[in-house]
Amino acid sequence: MSRRILITGASVAGNTAAWSLARAGFHVTVVEQADAFRDGGQNIDVRDVGRDVLRRMGLEQAALDHGTGEEGTAWIDADGETVAEIRTGDVDGDGPTAEMEILRGDLARLLYDAARDTAHYRFGDRVTAVDDDGAGVDVTFASGGGERFDLLIVAEGVGASTRELVFPGENDPRWMDLTIGYFTIPRTADDDRLWRWYHATDGRSVSLRPDRHGTTRATLSIQKPPEGEQDWDVAQQKQFLRERFTDAGGQAPRVLAGMETTEDFYFDVLRQVRLDRWHRGRVVLTGDAAWCATPLAGIGATLAVTGAYVLAGEIARHDDPAAAFDAYETAMRPMVEQGQGVPKIGPRLMNPHSRLGIHLLHGALHLASLPAVQSLTAKLLNRKLDAPDLSRYHGPRTAGRMQSGPDAPPG
């Protein structure tokens, strides 16, 4: 009898867990509230142990082949002049731009394509109720009806609704005082292969990043305390950005114009997910639903693939779900805490409010980009991660040693 596992969320963490568990012989269903698989999304990178996971999955080269082609990072002044630049070819290891730079949707697509032949996907639906009786989990879906599973893995985003059904009010977020709008705009002849970052006063910044689809990925960022903007509707969020960036200069007018017709607008007020534990009974969290470290950490995708792979490995190694979940937390906590250790003053330092502050930031960035200093800069950016030991997970085995619920399908 194969164990029946439900995963909520078909992005990076959910698809990694689905692939790993299905390969180990489990019967896996993935439910995703979007009507179809969601491509698109902004630039992410995978580093260190995350690349090791992709290598084990046979996807490392494919991820490199699907990279954005970004060649480095440049900081731009109000006149459009480059004040500092770090190119990937000039440093040892990963700098602000990693070797494996890829769009979120492109990475998730690679993982989805690898998993969908062995896991069952259910799009356009979501979980509305969870009843864990200790022997299994009864789940009710928005589409009507319910099913029983042996385990439930919540692999949704920072605002995971399924997490709130099982851990109501337990997330005590750490707000990072940075509000960001992300979206895709048309590429112009002036766009190159660099991540171009422009600062304006009042904590505002505009960045443009290349992709491999002939478009440009834009962000509008504001350093400020949260005021509930993440709960506004899209029209209100866009109006907020229009008002804030109307006099920002630089590429802001072009980006605001592109925002009007973009098809993938996403808005967030950055906050970390902080939970005392990631599992309860037969329900477990992974990815951003468990520990969102925010893009400021620089290892969000690395945490997502690593955590999901480790979780699947521990489920396959243990007869008892509680033992598997405890081992998973023990393995992942050090790396998560390291990722969440971003100083809260960081966004303020990197998004100055005054012209003097911008001038001082540009001076520091120029110093960090000098050839004699770039290697040191790269080393500071590439801190050694407190990563789990992947050698514990030696590949798929036949599932079903743990006692299976009565509704499990034949293996």
CATH of the domain at 339: 3.50.50.60
pLDDT at 381 over 70: no
- Residue 372 confidence (pLDDT): 73
- The answer to whether residue 95 sits within a structural domain is no
- The answer to whether residue 409 sits within a structural domain is no
- Residue 408 confidence (pLDDT): 35
Note the pLDDT tens digit of each residue in 319-377.
Answer: 899 999 999 999 999 999 999 999 989 999 999 999 999 999 999 999 988 887 766 66
Q: How many domains does the chain have?
A: 1
- The answer to whether residue 363 sits within a structural domain is no
Q: Are strands 27-32 and 266-272 parallel, antiparallel or unpaired?
A: unpaired
- The answer to whether residue 111 sits within a structural domain is yes
- The answer to whether residue 23 sits within a structural domain is yes
Note the pLDDT tens digit of each residue in 172-196.
Answer: 999 999 999 999 999 999 999 999 9
Position 86 confidence tier, pLDDT thresholds 50, 70, 90 = confident
pTM over cut 0.95 = no
Q: Assign residue 406 a region: left if phi > 0, alpha if psi is -120 to 50, beta otherwise?
A: alpha
- The answer to whether residue 27 sits within a structural domain is yes
When pLDDT is averaged across residues 243-260 and rounded to a whole number, the result is 97
- The answer to whether residue 293 sits within a structural domain is yes
Query: By residue range, what is the domain housing residue 21?
Result: 4-40+51-67+103-173+273-343+387-392
Burial (CB < 10 A; 0-12, 13-18, 19+), residue 215, is middle
A 10 A CB-CB count for 321 gives 20
A 10 A CB-CB count for 397 gives 12
The per-type count for the chain, helices as H runs and strands as E runs, is 13, 18
3-state SS, residue 194:
strand
When pLDDT is averaged across residues 157-169 and rounded to a whole number, the result is 96
Q: How far is CA 157 from the centre of its chain?
A: 8
- Residue 376 confidence (pLDDT): 66
- The answer to whether residue 82 sits within a structural domain is no
pLDDT at 403 over 60: no
A 10 A CB-CB count for 92 gives 10
CA 10/CA 58 separation, integer angstroms = 19
Note the pLDDT tens digit of each residue in 274-287.
Answer: 999 999 999 999 99
Average pLDDT, whole number, for the chain? 91
